[in-house]
């Protein structure tokens, strides 16, 4: 919940032109701000379209390069000879050989460059160098890596997916598996391969899996990426590994995806984000698990225990945070207001609010200003250029993207625009609750609320339940609006009751899953009804819309069941 990112900051984010701190902040922001996440998606799509235009239209229209470059070799020789002019002491036999070698390399670069294969070893070297620099930390810092793990047992009919959050300090690593069997299985395989103290997507992991597979890696280009594959040799297969592959972005040599194929299961690991935190920004429970023995080891053994200096009386920051979130929830401030809550140096919770209304400011001041261990800060908006309504931009009547069937059905542009605003508002309501839940799910993944007091657990459960109920109500509203459109446009799908809620799902997974479905449904609606980067025709959109709405309804049921 922070203020919106300006167009320049969005572009700088895409181009990795922000400081590590700003990237971390922006990444966190995208997880909770639907508007900015959408804007980022649009920007990426637009940049991809520009790149495709360059390649598919411009480059094809350019005259072909010449077959030979007869004037180049004499020029290179001339430059070499100029260096050999009398009076220059640097020209010696080894230097001459060196220059000749450079000429040969250059000519080879020019002549054979077009058919040179990608060197897998070089790519691996560059990737590990780049990612080592990217994930470099001091002893006062900790890296957090979030990945999506998709796994499939060899005999299983379908794959499973789970989110995995891992932390690494200079001393050790901690995988927050949340008790998910998929994550546990992957962690066990990493530990078996001596990777107990590394992140899932990290240079040591890459090198170690390549080494275990044993064969020479091969590389192939795929658009702006390079795919590296290593098929296992006999020794690798004896360890159960059949193939290892990963994807490198040539733009910055970053590895963001990796696949491991074992004889009994396959795993795909996709990076969601990696961020570096100062130690005092890391939740205390994570630090305790990351380096459990650290506090004891720093205490002189012969001294009697004494109260820590300058540390206020023990405050359970997690409890305090839940209490603040509960209060904010009661006043509806967790649905889009730019408010960020961060545990801070020792025993303090910082509540930062950006660009909020005077009324909300007064509410927050009354609620939090005089509470112990809470630091309330107000910031001006960073960028007001994007208003909340910008995301809803109905297709103007004159647009070439407009479909006549929509206009015929609505009978006029005003009616179409009214409908569009209404249905997108319903969709935005669903998303607002789901983003609020998602933020809680990220903060307290499954099994990570054990440090909370019973009262805090109750408050957290109440927030989750409230959102789940609101989501079901909003989804029903959204569904009825979408049904109106589907029926009006003559799309008749069999009326299906939603599938029963999946047994055993926790609210964190259920909310993440429902959020994905809501985003899909929202994307289809915007593609159909607004000026979108990815327009869809009516005939293409309707079946997808029907399906996504049904899936969203099922997701809302599952969420409510898990919240109870």
Partner 1 sequence: MYRDDIYRFLLAQGLSPAVAQDLTQDVFVDLFVALQKGTDVKSERAWLYAVAGRAVVDHWRRERPAMWAELDSAPTASAEIPSREQSPETQAAYTERLARIAAGLRKLPRERRLCLQLRMKGLSYREIAKILRVSTSTAAEWLVSTIDRLRDEAND
Stretch that binds partner 1, among 145-153, 318-326, 509-517, 529-537 (CB under 8 A): 529-537
Structure tokens at 466: 């409230």
Q: Give min distance, CB of 404 to partner 1, in A.
A: 12
Among 27, 37, 41, 106, binds partner 1 (CB under 8 A): 106
Q: Are 371 and 321 in contact (CB under 8 A)?
A: no
Q: Is 497 exposed, middle or buried (0-12, 13-18, 19+ CB in 10 A)?
A: exposed
Residue 397: count of CB within 10 angstroms of its CB:
12
The closest of 301, 256, 262 to 274, measured between CA atoms, is 256
Please give the full DSSP string across 115-129, using - where no structure is assigned.
GPPP-HHHHHHHHHH
Q: Which x/- pattern over 21-50 shows residues binding partner 1 (rule: CB under 8 A)?
A: ----------------------x--xx-xx
Q: Does residue 537 bind partner 1 (CB under 8 A)?
A: yes
Could you identify the residue written with the tokens 């989501």? 471
- CB of residue 105 to partner 1, shortest distance in Å: 8
Task: Decide: is 68 part of the binding site for partner 1 (CB under 8 A).
Answer: no
- 251: burial class by Cβ within 10 Å (0-12, 13-18, 19+)? exposed
- CB crowding 143-152: b at 16 or more within 10 Å, else e: bbbbbebbbb
- Using CB under 8 A as the binding rule, whether residue 53 contacts partner 1 is answered as yes
Q: Minimal distance in Å, beta carbon 47 to partner 1?
A: 7
Give, for 108, the enclosing helix (H) or strand (E): helix 93-111
Q: How far is the CB of 20 from partner 1 (least distance, A)?
A: 15
8 A C-beta contact, residue 537 and residue 484:
no
Candidate residues 19, 62, 155, 357; the one interacting with partner 1 per rule CB under 8 A: 62
In the list 536, 545, 559, 560, the residue contacting partner 1 (rule: CB under 8 A) is 536
**Number of residues engaging partner 1 in binding (CB under 8 A):** 56
Nearest to 372 by CA among 450, 304, 300, 313: 313
Other beta carbons within 10 angstroms of residue 53's beta carbon come to 11
DSSP-derived pairing of the beta strands 374-379 and 348-354? parallel
Site string for partner 1, 221-260 (x = CB under 8 A): -----------------------------xxx--------
What whole-number distance in Å separates Cα of residue 175 and Cα of residue 184? 9
Q: Which stretch binds partner 1 (CB under 8 A): 200-208, 328-336, 350-358, 530-538?
A: 530-538
- Please tell me whether residue 122 binds partner 1 under the rule CB under 8 A: no
Q: Which of residues 388-427 bind partner 1 (CB under 8 A)?
A: 400-401
**Binding test (CB under 8 A) with partner 1, winner from 3, 38, 99, 481:** 99
* Token duo for residue 535: 């327009």
Q: Which window, 104-112, 284-292, 344-352, 504-512, contacts partner 1 (CB under 8 A)?
A: 104-112
Decide: is 132 part of the binding site for partner 1 (CB under 8 A).
no
Q: Which of 211, 186, 190 is nearest to 128 (CA)?
A: 211
Interacting residues with partner 1 (CB under 8 A): 7-8, 11-12, 15, 17, 43, 46-47, 49-54, 56-63, 65-66, 69, 71-72, 75-76, 79-80, 83, 98-99, 102-103, 106, 109-111, 113-114, 116, 250-252, 400-401, 531, 534-537, 539-540
């Amino acid at each position: 919940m922070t203020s919106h990112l300006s167009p320049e900051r969005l572009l700088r984010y895409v181009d990795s032109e922000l400081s590590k701190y700003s990237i971390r902040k922006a990444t966190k922001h995208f997880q909770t701000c639907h508007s900015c996440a959408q804007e980022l998606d649009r920007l990426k799509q637009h940049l991809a379209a520009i790149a495709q235009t360059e390649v598919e239209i411009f480059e094809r229209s350019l005259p072909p390069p010449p077959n030979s470059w007869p004037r180049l070799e004499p020029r290179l020789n001339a430059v070499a000879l100029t260096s050999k002019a009398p009076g220059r002491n640097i020209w010696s036999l080894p230097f001459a050989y060196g220059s000749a070698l450079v000429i040969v390399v250059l000519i080879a670069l020019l002549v054979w460059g077009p058919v040179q294969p990608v060197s897998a070893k070089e790519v691996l070297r560059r990737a590990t160098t780049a990612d080592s620099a990217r994930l470099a930390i001091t002893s006062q810092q900790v890296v957090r890596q979030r990945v999506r793990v998709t796994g499939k047992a060899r005999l299983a009919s379908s794959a499973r997916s789970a989110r995995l959050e891992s932390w690494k300090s200079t001393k050790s690593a901690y995988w927050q598996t949340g008790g998910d069997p998929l994550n546990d299985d992957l962690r066990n395989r990493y530990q078996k391969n001596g990777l107990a103290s590394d992140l899932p997507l990290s240079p040591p992991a890459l090198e170690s899996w390549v080494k275990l597979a044993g064969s020479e890696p091969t590389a192939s280009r795929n658009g702006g990426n390079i795919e590296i594959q290593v098929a296992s040799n006999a020794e690798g297969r004896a360890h159960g590994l059949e193939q290892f592959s990963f994807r490198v972005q040539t733009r910055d040599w970053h590895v963001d995806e990796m696949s491991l194929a074992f004889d009994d299961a396959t795993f795909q690991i996709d990076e969601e984000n990696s961020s570096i935190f100062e130690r005092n920004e890391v939740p205390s429970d994570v630090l305790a698990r990351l380096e459990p023995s650290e506090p004891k080891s720093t205490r002189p053994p012969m001294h009697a225990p004494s109260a820590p200096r300058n540390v206020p009386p023990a405050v359970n920051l997690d409890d305090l945070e839940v209490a603040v979130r509960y209060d904010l929830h009661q006043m509806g401030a967790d649905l889009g207001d730019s408010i960020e809550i961060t545990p801070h140096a020792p025993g303090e919770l910082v509540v930062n609010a950006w660009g909020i209304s005077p009324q909300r400011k007064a509410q927050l001041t009354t609620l939090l200003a005089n509470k112990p261990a809470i630091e309330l800060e107000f910031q001006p908006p960073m960028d007001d250029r994007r208003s909340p309504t910008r995301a809803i931009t109905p297709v103007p009547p004159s647009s070439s993207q407009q479909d006549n069937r929509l206009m015929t059905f609505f009978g006029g542009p005003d009616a179409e625009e009214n409908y569009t605003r209404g249905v997108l508002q319903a969709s935005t309501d669903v998303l607002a609750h789901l983003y609020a839940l998602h933020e809680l799910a990220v903060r307290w993944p499954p099994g990570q609320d054990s440090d909370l007091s019973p009262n805090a657990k109750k408050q957290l459960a109440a927030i989750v339940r409230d959102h789940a109920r609101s989501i079901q109500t909003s989804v029903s509203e959204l569904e009825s609006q979408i049904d109106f459109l589907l029926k009006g446009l003559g799309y008749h799908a069999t009326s299906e009751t939603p599938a029963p809620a999946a047994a055993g799902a926790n609210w964190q997974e259920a909310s993440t899953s429902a959020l994905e479905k809501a985003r899909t449904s929202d994307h289809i609606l915007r593609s159909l009804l607004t000026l979108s980067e990815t327009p869809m025709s009516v005939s293409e959109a309707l079946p997808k819309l029907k399906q996504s709405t049904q899936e969203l309804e099922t997701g809302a049921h599952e969420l409510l069941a898990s919240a109870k």
